[in-house]
Amino acid sequence: MKSGAQVVVVGGGVVGASVLYHLTKAGWTDVVLVERTELTAGSTWHAAGGMHTINGDPNVAKLQRYTTELYAEIERISGQDCGIHTPGGVLLADTVERLDWLRMTHARGRYLGLDTEMISVAEAAELVPLFDPEHFVGAMLEAHEGHVDPAGVTHAFVKAARMAGAEVYRGTWARAMSRRADGCWRVELYDTASGDDRGEIVCEHVINCGGLWAREVGRMVGLELPVLAMEHTYIVTEPLDAVMEHNQRTGARMMNVIDFGGEIYMRQEGNGMLLGTYEQACLPWAPRQTPWDFSMRLLPEDLDRISDSLEVAFAHFPVLGTSGIQRVVNGPFTFAPDGNPLIGPIRGLPGYWTACAVMAGFSQGGGVGLAMANWITTGDPGFDVWAMDVARFGDYATVAYTDAKVCENYSRRFRITFPNEFLPQGRGVQTSPIYDRLADANAVWGDAFGLESALWFQEAGLEPVEEVTFGRSNAWDRVRAETLAVRAGVGMMETTGFAKFLVEGPGAREWLDRLLAGRIPIPGRMALTPMTNPAGNLAGDLTVACLPAGPGRAEGPAGTVVGGATGNV
């Protein structure tokens, strides 16, 4: 066993395996993965293995496309069968609003290079002859949807990484870690079965890919990650004549299906169908501490919890109502408060990284591995990963906040989130000093980074709520009136939600002029200007105010306030 390495990856699920592979692909071969029990333990081994490119965030969608295209590569390199099946998928809309969402998704997919197509209900029924067309108003075809073998993919990543020089230690428990005076990390290892000391590895970087145990691995360094595991059930039906007839007639597998109204997903499994749901009666699992002895186990079956979803499924897909259930799988997997992964460096802990809460591991795991490897080896993830950056959550993301938001997002997995829609859970955790005054003025509220912010002001006497829609909401006329009032007169804007930096002293203006791509304003004026990274990519859009000379400040434009939001592209 090594005593030193550039990187130690903690956790041998699909995400840890992907990170390991991508590090070796980037040229870092002095890397080690330690897995407490066996590869795939935790959530990976019992996953349904679904993969798709559709995501509400276009940058995450690009990573998902990369992931789906990656499997053929690692299968070829490693010689390990990944069980790749890409029959395509049909997404069914049961309402006009959902159909509008699919149209929007299709339009976004065109500029992302995704292979999608709007189709009629009749065309969808030809492709998936299992559902009752009366329940739907339209559909979208997604050509690259499918599924893989979870174990096959994980072992393919690991085999390819080991071929490049990486080492993997199974049955090895990373029970403690600490940062040394020289900035390196000490990872203490023990034999999981016997408890014997297996020594330590000193490394430059530690990556927490702990999956179900990400919280526990984080706590070793005083970090409380906003992660919660949820119970998730899918069933596998007995063989269905309709499926076998379709296979024989077309020579292809049944396409994957998402029924948004029923909040279910389906794919072919054997000669039957696998059906999973994100039920409203969702249930957290091990909300405070994941048992260390939970490895490759399932949770007790609980079909009553998903009975409402099954009732809808049987109505929308009548053939399911007459089939038997061959297998029920109920297992835990992890979520962050907004449902996106938590990846990137931990500020204040140089060399400590996290890649966890990847609930869609076989759609996103490859892209997460690529981003992490880029970030660690070059200092930049290579593309906009703000939607996944662990830095998007602060101290406000307490255990109570995480529990509330995870349950909310789990139960809304297949529901529409409209433009300007802010969900009700986890609200009011941070307010500005003038919150009450703005509330008295009938403000309509949103939130960002846990802070309540006034979006616009409703007319007196009317409820301060935006009626969300894909069209013009009730905010339109009020926002227009506010804009015209400021244009014709004077307005005030609250900037509590801005990150603010005072840059002053000799050379302040010159330093900012190099950092920012726009012109620095003259004293007494302000301007909006982009900030770029060394590669010339946009890293932020900042408001710059050049302060005039004042008490305690030297003459001339030496004091500048910079505020705004930044990304990491």
444 lies in the same domain as 548 = no
Q: Which pLDDT value is given to residue 563?
A: 57
Q: Which pLDDT value is given to residue 250?
A: 96
pLDDT higher at 110 or 228: 228
Is 494 domain-assigned?
no
Amino acid at 317: F
What integer is the mean pLDDT of 192-198? 96
What digits encode the pLDDT tens for the residues 521-548? 888 888 889 988 888 888 888 888 888 7
- Range list of β-strands (E), 420-491: 443-448, 451-457
Q: Which pLDDT value is given to residue 523?
A: 86
Residue that terminates a domain, selected from 443, 464, 488: 488
Is 353 domain-assigned?
yes
Above 80 in pLDDT, residue 302?
Answer: yes
Is 406 domain-assigned?
no
What integer is the mean pLDDT of 1-18? 98
Is 383 domain-assigned?
no
Are 64 and 55 spatial neighbours (Cβ–Cβ below 8 Å)? yes
Is 558 strand, coil or helix? coil
CATH number at residue 550: 3.30.70.1400
What integer is the mean pLDDT of 414-425? 94
53 lies in the same domain as 183 = yes
72 lies in the same domain as 36 = yes
CATH number at residue 286: 3.50.50.60
Is 388 domain-assigned?
no
298 lies in the same domain as 362 = yes
pTM listed for this prediction = 0.93
Residue 118 to residue 141: CA distance in whole angstroms? 6
232 lies in the same domain as 96 = yes
455 lies in the same domain as 350 = no
Residue 193's CB is within 10 A of a number of other CB atoms, namely 9
What digits encode the pLDDT tens for the residues 232-268? 999 999 999 999 999 999 999 999 999 999 999 999 9
Q: Which pLDDT value is given to residue 526?
A: 86
CATH number at residue 460: 3.30.1360.120
Q: Which pLDDT value is given to residue 558?
A: 42
Residue 14 to residue 82: CA distance in whole angstroms? 12
424 band by pLDDT with thresholds 50, 70 and 90: very high
338 lies in the same domain as 472 = no
Q: Which pLDDT value is given to residue 564?
A: 56
What digits encode the pLDDT tens for the residues 385-413? 999 999 999 999 999 999 999 999 999 99
What digits encode the pLDDT tens for the residues 109-163? 888 888 999 999 999 999 999 999 999 999 999 998 999 999 999 999 999 999 9
Report how many domains make up the chain: 3
What integer is the mean pLDDT of 318-329? 95
Domain that holds residue 430: 418-488
Q: What angle do CA 299, 301, 303 make, to 5 degrees?
A: 140
Residue 391 to residue 377: CA distance in whole angstroms? 19
Q: Which pLDDT value is given to residue 505?
A: 84
Residue 146 to residue 143: CA distance in whole angstroms? 9
290 lies in the same domain as 435 = no
Above 70 in pLDDT, residue 562?
Answer: no
Pair of tokens at residue 444? 């309509």
Is 188 domain-assigned?
yes
Is 397 domain-assigned?
no
56 lies in the same domain as 142 = yes
Above 60 in pLDDT, residue 553?
Answer: no
* Average per-residue pLDDT for the chain: 94
313 lies in the same domain as 449 = no
What digits encode the pLDDT tens for the residues 336-379? 999 999 999 999 999 999 999 999 999 999 999 999 999 999 99
What digits encode the pLDDT tens for the residues 171-187? 999 999 999 999 999 99
Helices 361-378 and 150-163 pack at an angle, to 10 degrees, of 20
Residue that terminates a domain, selected from 454, 488, 522: 488
Pair of tokens at residue 438? 């703005």
Above 50 in pLDDT, residue 557?
Answer: no
Residue that terminates a domain, selected from 346, 362, 378: 378
Above 60 in pLDDT, residue 569?
Answer: no
520 band by pLDDT with thresholds 50, 70 and 90: confident
Q: Which pLDDT value is given to residue 555?
A: 42
Give 89's strand partners.
142, 256
Please list the alpha-helical segments (H only) found in 317-433.
318-321, 361-378, 399-411
Residue 348 to residue 223: CA distance in whole angstroms? 10
Give 422's strand partners.
none
480 band by pLDDT with thresholds 50, 70 and 90: very high
146 lies in the same domain as 222 = yes
Closest CA to 339 of 446, 418, 415, 265: 415
556 lies in the same domain as 445 = no
What integer is the mean pLDDT of 470-491? 96
Are 24 and 31 spatial neighbours (Cβ–Cβ below 8 Å)? yes
Pair of tokens at residue 126? 């030809």
Is 390 domain-assigned?
no
